[in-house]
Amino acid sequence: MSTSTSPLPSGARSSLWPWLGLALAIIVLDQLTKQWILSVYAHGEGTVVTGFFNIVRAHNPGAAFSFLAEHDGWQRWFFTVIGVGASILIVWLLRRHAGQTLFCFALACIMGGALGNVVDRLMHGYVVDFLDFHWAGWHYPSFNVADMGITLGAICLIVDELRRMRRAKD
């Protein structure tokens, strides 16, 4: 007889930890790379790596593609609350859907990326970006490891949903 009060079987509870570990790994890798950038480059400085890629220290007080970056600072707290709130929802979803591997992988990547950027907002008031891809004078907005986690997670969510829809048709 189990003494646990959790509505989930013990196997489902324990399967939450690998996903939290993945999110933590993304946060740690994100913060290590950002700390390196902060220690090596001044704001706006960079290094040409190839004809289409630079490492450049950029500060983004807004969200994706510098959304709301030009405002007075309230967006720092707004995006921090969104990141923390999304992470709470993600933990709940991870517990409820522990057996859905791709879905949980996607959520863990998104949570790791969101919290990586939340750490920046709390520590600096802006997100540190440094990966700069460009072509023929056009530059894609600079981004970081946290953004890669969020993007990978979003792609995996789409793939998971397409697979779910396909299975429902069969």
Q: Which residues are catalytic?
A: 129, 147
In residues, how long is the chain?
170
Cα separation, 84 vs 90, whole angstroms: 10
How many DSSP H helices and E strands does the chain contain?
A: 5, 4
- Strand, coil or helix: 7: coil
User: Which DSSP state fits 127?
Assistant: E
Reference 60, options 49, 50, 52, 71; nearest CA is 71
